[in-house]
A = this chain, B = another copy of it.
Amino acid sequence: MTRTAFYVSDGTAITAETIGHATLSQYDFTIEHITVPFIESDEKANLLKEQINRRFKTTGHRPFVFHTFVDKSLAEKIADSHSICFDVLEPFSKVISDKLNVPANPVKHRTHSIKEHKYDARIEAMNFALTNDDGQTTDNYKDADVILVGVSRSGKTPTSIYLALQYGIKAANYPFTEDDMEDFKLSAVLKENKRKIFGLTIEPNRLAAIRNERYANSKYASLRQCRMELREVERMYKGNKIPFINTTHFSVEEISAKIISAMKLARHNH
């Protein structure tokens, strides 16, 4: 049985999507997901209401609707559809307003917009991550919040970018290659910034699989090579007391959250 979920807002609908996804992930329904951002007029709200009602008619199930509207008259139109409809901020703001005796004062585009606090910091951090990706330059390490190190394809780049985009954290990253490993010491610039360094590692089989997608059957992608490189970097991490994690079973979101905790980094998304 397939059900339909609508995520709706007069903004980006990102908050509605996040809470809707998380809620529905607790059930075994098969869901068709429909995100509808920028419902900013009566006309758009009416069209959406018709779409929701059509979906009810054709499937025989009331669709789920998760919405965040600043304009409450638009919210009412949507709530008036044949749906199981949730105003996703209301349960919390109702309690806060009641307990503290302050009214909620929703302002359009206060989240996920350019007016958001720290928006520029996030874009600046993303540019930092791209400029300082893959050891392209080591000149800016004094400005870095964290320097991720690890062998090629161990997850440094996606993690650096996620830290920037989500949290406004300036993450550089530096790859260790076989050439570094002969007499494996941290270079001068890494030594100077040692307290910023965080290491990534990964299981050899997984690394070999990832590298094979890029350069099939190369020495670079061989299990033997991956094992050697990982053994060397892990030994170096331990010898230099560099904190590190094994990324094999974690998403970039999880890896990022763990790095933030371990390095006590400030989140700039607040």
Q: Which residues of A contact B (CB under 8 A)?
A: 11-15, 17-19, 21-23, 25-28, 31, 33, 35, 37-38, 64, 66, 68, 84, 86, 88-89, 91-93, 95-96, 99, 102, 104-107, 109-114, 116, 119, 123, 126-127, 130, 157-158, 161-162, 165, 249-254, 256-258, 260-261, 267, 269-270
Contacting residues, chain B, for A38 (C-beta < 8 A): 257-258, 261
Which residue of chain B lies nearest to A119 when distances are taken between CB atoms in the complex? B251
Which residue of chain B lies nearest to A214 when distances are taken between CB atoms in the complex? B127
Which residue of chain B lies nearest to A247 when distances are taken between CB atoms in the complex? B114
Beta-carbon contact of A27 and B112 below 8 Å: no
Beta-carbon contact of A270 and B31 below 8 Å: yes
Copies in the assembly, this chain: 2
Beta-carbon contact of B106 and A26 below 8 Å: yes
Instruction: Assess A251 versus B116: contact at CB under 8 Å? Given A158-B123, A261-B37.
Output: yes
Beta-carbon contact of B15 and A250 below 8 Å: no
Known: A21-B270, A84-B96, A161-B161. 5 other contacts (CB 8 A): A12-B256, A23-B92, A23-B96, A27-B102, A35-B267
- The CA of A162 and the CA of B158, in the complex, are separated in Å by 12
Beta-carbon contact of A92 and B86 below 8 Å: yes
Beta-carbon contact of B158 and A126 below 8 Å: yes
Of the candidates B33, B96, B165, B260, the one whose C-beta lies within 8 Å of that of A267 is B33
The smallest C-beta distance from A115 to any residue of chain B, in angstroms, reads: 8
